[in-house]
Amino acid sequence: MSTPESETGDEESLVLVYFEESQYLSDSTNTANQSTLSQLGLRLEHEEGKNFTKKIDAHGVFSFTETRTPYIAVPELYFESNPKKNFYFTLGRKKKSWSRADELWHLGLWQPLARWDYFRPEPQGLTGLTLGVQNSWVGLELFGSTVFIPDQGPQFQIVNGHFESENRWFWKPQTQANVLGSERDLRYELVTPEVADVINNGSLAGRLWLGQYQKTAWASVAYADKPVNQFHLAVDPEYQIQLERASEPVVGIFPRVIRHKLTTVEVGVGPKAFNLTASLTDEETSRPEFVSRYMQSALSDNRWMALSMNHTLFFRDFEATWAYLQREVRNRAVHDQLMGSEVESSYDRFPIEEAASFSWKGTLRFFSQNFFWRGQYWYSIKEEGGWLSTGLLWQATRDLGWYLDFDVLGTNLDPEKSQGFISRYRGNDRVLVGMTYVF
């Protein structure tokens, strides 16, 4: 989806309203999910200032078919001195290029994601103070924060001990378990941490770079000691032991904030017309201190290796990107101790371990009208399956646009035996139509 912007002097504003309707092509196993989803969205962007910049980027979505909405995200909200000068600072929430591979694959390692729609995850900036110094060929940024805002996922609630969600992207954990040789229904109790225990987690990060991305040869090194953007889960088995004689054993789930250390090294060469990027990220995850009887979901140190090639097509009207990603588990500190693969996979941070992708975007012109066409295909090697996503936007006038999106997932493996992203959500194939208007 592409939209025009209004600009007056040193001030830019965008107020965008859109309405869209999604038709899912398969019935969901969750009876609370509907095959048709109607949504009204509002996006506000405002940026002003010359030597000092203030910016807000806020996004809200209200669903006519989901009762537990709206979804609200604020990807950026900051005050910044002129970033074109040799010394600058940023206070607030601003998206930064800590890792090109993290941005391309939407891993959520560095910056949190708004993921109420897994087909369209939205990056959000880290919140804190950034100090930067730079010249034409080298730069250094230091970041510090006492505030942590995690990923935003699909909304849900627990009703009579059972997870309920109208969002098709919420994956419900198993509802039965074998207790004393017989199958029994499970009830859940979510023991949420205090808000202060989540928000009051500090971060330190820094990034050093040489050269300029998509202009010359360049290299960057980034390091962070920060909270993991996704919650880590533990289960108290005494919830089950105490109630083994009950008809429905209760499972207590304890989400917690844990920390990790990230180191990303990236190098690239070439202008925008043709460039290559190689990326390596090491993640060292802290070991949370739970009560010894607690069982935890899988926890490991990881290494991410990524390659990408970006180039233009068709007389520079189109841009194409080829990419490869591989995750290597370096040290599995905690093997999955929960009650089955569905519990673990429900909260898997990285459902795709090795994949290749091809994406494109560009402008087509027919009958004096502009059409923006974008698409991508991901292939998950482990799952032997792929995700095709494509969309076409017709900018009818400067302010009014119409768009059509299509997403389909497919795999050669038995979905009952595979727990990856494609197998898990293959029932979410959809066609989406929408209208957008800019004020």
Query: What one-character-per-residue DSSP string does 86-134 give?
Result: SEEEEEEEE---S-HHHHHHT--SSS-EE-SSTTS-EE--EEEEEEEEE
* pLDDT value of residue 340: 47
Tokens of 93: 């929430």
* pLDDT value of residue 179: 57
Neighbours of 231 (CB within 10 A): 21
- DSSP 8-state class, residue 230: S
Residue 280 lies in a domain: yes
Contact residues for 146 (Cβ-Cβ < 8 A; gap 6+)? 128, 200, 202
- Whichever domain contains 312, its CATH number is 2.40.160
Rounded Cα–Cα distance for residues 132 and 141 (Å): 4
Task: Return the closest-CA partner of residue 339 out of 166, 193, 185.
Answer: 185
Residue 55 lies in a domain: yes
* pLDDT value of residue 330: 86
Strands (E) located in 315-399: 318-334, 354-366, 369-380, 385-395
Residue 429 lies in a domain: yes
Strands (E) located in 122-173: 122-123, 126-134, 138-145, 157-159, 162-164
What global pTM score does this model have?
A: 0.89
* pLDDT value of residue 339: 46
Residue 56 lies in a domain: yes
Neighbours of 317 (CB within 10 A): 11
- DSSP 8-state class, residue 84: T
* pLDDT value of residue 357: 98
Tokens of 16: 């965008």
pLDDT averages per 10-residue partition of the chain, 439 residues: 45 93 83 83 91 93 82 96 88 96 96 94 97 94 97 88 86 67 74 93 98 92 97 74 57 89 97 94 88 76 96 83 95 57 52 92 88 96 94 95 97 74 89 97
* pLDDT value of residue 177: 62
- Please give the tally of structural domains in the chain: 1
* pLDDT value of residue 159: 85
Residue 54 lies in a domain: yes
Residue 286 lies in a domain: yes
The CA–CA distances, whole Å, from 295 to 211, 212, 229, 255 equal 47, 47, 21, 12
Residue 1 lies in a domain: no
Contact residues for 12 (Cβ-Cβ < 8 A; gap 6+)? 5, 6, 45, 46, 47, 48
Residue 90 lies in a domain: yes
Residue range of the domain that includes 31: 6-438
CA atoms within 13 A on the CB side of 382: 17
* pLDDT value of residue 35: 87
